[in-house]
Amino acid sequence: MKKLNLTILSSILLTTSLLTIKSNAQDSIYQTYIKPIPKAYNLQELPKEVQEDIQSIQNMKYLKLKTSSDYEIAISNNDGTYSYVQSEDNLNLAIDIADNLKNAKNQGIPVVINKEGLVIYATEGIGRIVKIIDGNVDTTNNYTTNVYKTSELKSPEHTYINHGYIDDVPIIEDNGDVVKIEVSGYTGYIKKQEDDGSLNIITVPMNKVNNLSHYTVNSNNELVHAISSDITSTPKYSYQTLGPAPNFMKQNTKYYSYDGNYFYTDINQLISDAKLDNHNNAINSNNPYYNYYQYLPGRSKTSYTADDINKYFEQYTPSDSLLRNTGSYFIKAQNEYGTNAALLIGIAMNESDRGTSNLAKNKFNVFGTNAKDGYVEGADKFSSIEECIIRVSNYSFSNGYFNPKSWKYNSSSLGNKSLGANVRYASDPFWSEKAISRMYQLDKFLGGDTGLKDYNRYLLGMYTNETSIKNTSNKELYSILPQNTRTKNTCKGQVGDTTIVL
């Protein structure tokens, strides 16, 4: 009964507001402005794609509010403007009013605007990951956002992300305070607004979206991920070449995917399927794609020798790179601690900016170990590049990320934000893609005329059911749990983990 009264009240308010808009349309249009940046921040030490993302968010447009209410309901018009409808002090009521506007089939997209002049809800929209503190965009990458398994946001979080590395995510569910999103293969929940008032996500109405992240196939028949730095402006992308393209994809076509497994040519169909928890409208609905390098278990070996690796570094690193002539260290790490040398190289090339970062030069740290967001000064220091490669191979990977008995374990592949080392190693949702692009680069360069040697070298299997892994004495080594049921201190695998089939 209470909901019915609310609906009737909303309808009356909407009718009155719409009449006002029609009679005074010019006054209803919002003016926009860009806020001056309150503090300067040195972006030079950050990766190029992070610099572009932060610079783009600094130019974000705010809406000049019409009232002093906590929220305003408006229409996102197809001509790029916004039209005021009415104000409200209760967020849930404001969302209800916007939803009723949508049901009334008005032109444009109904939205809710907060006191800072930012859209925080749209009946049709894409999430934009941001960090906004006291109404001002953050110009650093010092903050991360936790992603939880359930809407109750119960600890421990499944993973975490940094706004400097990602712009767009599909919004699957918006409960006002909590938003369900899909990010790099993981579907989970984030706080829209933290307890300190800072925003983690805003909403871009679909008719204001210009360039979403997407996948394409280049002229060499390779799969390329174009990662957007600003979905509201002219195209700004960083590109990762991930390996041979799957045969169901064609050149000159944009494919949307937020898991890298299922692909869509229509973003609205992707969001519709995500809300129904299926992939029925994907172009490969019955044939999910798994990138070989991304799902290759770390306990494997490269086809290439130390001399081969040195040739690769000579070709693809600057002359002052600390990675040059280190091929023997990577092979030693592989042979002694069971960590794939090519995989380690992919991580090192990405983390150290090809062996030239300040961490590499000042601390011999080419893996970024313990270089936390906003506090790189706390990163590990080593006595030499050799010590770094050997120790990280042993302690971080062999006894950590690739060990089912470690709390760091999330499948021994590089993976994504659902499973693999990417879950806890980095706040960059595309950290694994940047590493595997280097693995593919190495494989392509060294394979030469003979073709790729590492690609598809092993037959891989994926666990699809709960099971127990035992040795020849029938003693359980570890068990496989249902997908995404692992807790922070559980030393077990999960459905979706991959393994080498001998």
Q: Where are the domains of the chain?
A: 46-55+117-286, 294-453
* Per-residue pLDDT tens over the stretch 285-296: 999 999 999 999
The token duo for 81 is 């403007």
The DSSP letter of residue 429 is T
Of 98-102, 136-140, 304-308, 355-359, the least confident: 136-140
pLDDT of residue 117 exceeding 80, the answer is yes
- Least confident residue range of 19-23, 42-46, 205-209, 271-275: 19-23
- 435 contacts: CB under 8 Å, gap ≥ 6: 343, 346, 347, 349, 350, 414
- The per-residue pLDDT for 462 is 94
Angstrom distances, CA of residue 386 to CA of 16, 323, 324: 73, 10, 12
Name the percent of the chain lying above pLDDT 70.
91
User: Which is higher by pLDDT, 66 or 105?
Assistant: 66
pLDDT tens-digit profile of 151-190? 999 988 999 999 999 999 999 999 989 999 999 999 999 9
Strand, helix or coil at 3? helix
Beta-ladder partners of 179? 174, 190
Looking at 206-236, which runs of residues are DSSP E strands?
Answer: 214-217, 222-228
Of 427, 460, 440, 411, residue with least CA distance to 298: 411
Amino acid, res. 220: N
Give the separation between CA 259 and CA 261, rounded to whole angstroms: 5
Tokens of 154: 């119960």
So what's the architecture of 294-453 in CATH? Orthogonal Bundle (1.10)
- In this structure, what are the phi and psi dihedrals at residue 112, rounded to the nearest 5 degrees? -120, 135
Q: How many CB atoms lie within 10 A of CB 337?
A: 19
Q: What are the two backbone dihedrals, phi and then psi, of residue 436, each rounded to the nearest 5 degrees?
A: -70, -25
Going by pLDDT thresholds of 50, 70 and 90, the confidence category of residue 93 is very high
Q: What is the mean pLDDT of residues 180-206?
A: 95
131 closest CA partner among 193, 177, 174:
193
CA distances (Å), 424 to each of 148, 230, 411, 420, 488, in order? 13, 26, 11, 8, 10
Rg (CA), the chain: 24
Determine the pLDDT at residue 26: 57
Percent of the chain scoring above 90 in pLDDT: 75
Q: How confident is the model at residue 234 (pLDDT cuts 50, 70, 90)?
A: confident
Q: Is the pLDDT of residue 368 over 70?
A: yes
pLDDT score of 450: 81
Question: For residue 489, is pLDDT > 60?
Answer: no
**Is beta strand 199-205 parallel, antiparallel or unpaired with respect to 214-217?**
unpaired
pLDDT tier, 487 (very low <50, low <70, confident <90, very high otherwise): low
- Is the pLDDT score of 19 beyond 80? no
Q: What is the pLDDT of residue 139?
A: 85
375 Cα distance to chain centroid: 21
DSSP string, 464-501: -S-EEEE-TTS-EEEEEESTT---TT---EETT-EEEE
Low-confidence winner among 228-237, 296-305, 328-337, 340-349 (lowest mean pLDDT): 228-237
Better-predicted residue by pLDDT, 155 or 364: 364
Region 459-479 average pLDDT:
91
pTM: 0.92
